[in-house]
Chain A
Amino acid sequence: MSTHPPAPAPSRELRSGVDLDEDRLYRSLWPEIARLAYLLSGSETVAEDLAQEAFIGLFRAQNVGDARAYLRRSVANLATNAGKRSRREHAYLRTVPQRSYVGSDAESDDLWPLLDRLPSRQRAVIVLRYYLDWSEAEIARALNCRPGTVKAHASRALNRLRKELS
């Protein structure tokens, strides 16, 4: 005796609770959020993890307001937390060949591996400050710390980078 195949299930709403607008938002903001996550984490695969997690948080949150700002803050937080938890994994990832940086010059490439050696919080401060041009107050809000702490992280990170380069 054969049974009828199940009727086609309703699409995205019942599967994930995400509606069409959220889907569009996801597709439009994904590239920039993933790029930010990449700069913060130093890893392509981790970047996509973090970006996906940030979007899930966005879609579950209520009264978010500015989705882009929310995602950026979320990714920054996730990256620093991930960096703390997975130091061993990051050490492994540093040994794995990353995507080649086509068109780079040797001078620019010097900074990327140095950034990788920064503690996650210092790295986050550097990325948010010099890539997104965020103020100390904005960075502090994203990382849930005081502006003074941001300043200290930035100072230590820059000192360390200068020392590595010299």
Chain B
Amino acid sequence: MTDILEDRLRADLVRRAASFTSHPPRHFGTRLDEDVTRPRFRRRRATIGAALVVGALAATAVPAAAAAGFAPGVADAFGWTHRTTPGLPLIPADDATGHVVMSLPASQGLPAIALLAAKTTTRGDCYTAVSQLAGKTWKAGSCGVSGVRTLTDGGGGGTGQAVLELIEAPGAAYITVGDGPGARRVPVADGVTALWLVKGELNRQVSVTSFDQKGVKLQSISIDEITGLPKTNWTGPGAPYTSSSPQP
């Protein structure tokens, strides 16, 4: 004779499992072909050249509430890994606690990027994208205020040959960079993301579009890229980008 509790467990677990529906966030490695429309987000241009310390990224994956549709502690199809690791050194220093929102390991000639976040009470949320390129540490930083963020074109640039972009896209799950079949898709965590602009995107207009978790387009901007930067010579570890190189 079976135990009543055990019978209830069996039945309850089956019913509870049936009540939970989950679809894979995306096909592993799928690409996106989308047209741009209209979102609302902001971009901060990195001024390259700052010498800063990048904390070593902890390998521990700590599950937490999912950010913008991506699972923390898990590498998604685009190579970004979300982690929450308190205590990492954060740049700039006007924060009380820091944690890694996302990290992108080095691959295919691109350097690793750590997207660090701090929450402050007076200046809102601060984010900094930090990476190492050609032996130097680069950063893109922004301290915004919570609420609606309007689009601004940061303009300007640096004296180097690469641009580290910090993109703020509140409410977005991912952005696409570029147009048509060649568009890159980059996840967004806590409303921000970071990326290296690739060679083909420098010194020309680039479309950036944000999408929510369901793939609904939010906003599109056209980035009028930095003028004055060299149009060639993407430098950094690994081979320079060419038009036929795989993109992150």
Contact = CB atoms under 8 A, between A and B. Distances in A.
Contact of B22 (A1, A3, A34, A111): A34
A89 B64 contact: yes
Interface stretch (A14-22, A67-75, A143-151): A14-22
A160 to B, nearest CB: 11
A58 B10 CA distance: 28
Contacts of B199: 3, 6
Contact of A104 (B14, B15, B66, B204): B15
A158 B10 CA distance: 13
Contacts of A111: 8-9, 12
Contact of B62 (A13, A86, A165): A86
B16 A18 contact: no
Contacts of B182: 5-9
Contacts of A45: 65-66, 71
B10 A130 contact: yes
A5 B202 CA distance: 10
A160 B71 CA distance: 32
Contacts of A86: 62-64
Interface in B21-35: 21-25, 27-31
A40 to B, nearest CB: 10
B17 to A, nearest CB: 4
Given A130-B6, A131-B10, A10 B246 contact: yes
B73 A53 contact: yes
Nearest to A161: B5
B204 A131 contact: no
Nearest to A33: B22
Contacts of B73: 49, 53
B151 interface: no
A109 B15 CA distance: 10
Interface residues of B, number: 63
Contacts of A23: 27-30
A60 to B, nearest CB: 10
A73 to B, nearest CB: 18
B125 interface: no
B75 interface: yes
Given A4-B243, A27-B27, A49-B63, A158 B5 contact: yes
Nearest to B17: A35
A39 B76 CA distance: 23
A165 B199 CA distance: 64
B74 A89 contact: no
A111 B181 CA distance: 50
Interface string B107-134: 0100000000000000000000000000
A48 B66 contact: yes
A102 B15 CA distance: 10
Interface in A112-148: 112, 126-127, 130-131
A39 B17 contact: yes
A1 to B, nearest CB: 6
Contact of A36 (B17, B28, B62, B198): B17
Interface of A: 1-18, 22-23, 26-27, 30-31, 34-36, 38-39, 41, 44-53, 55-56, 59, 82, 85-86, 89, 93, 99, 101-104, 107-109, 111-112, 126-127, 130-131, 158, 161-162, 165
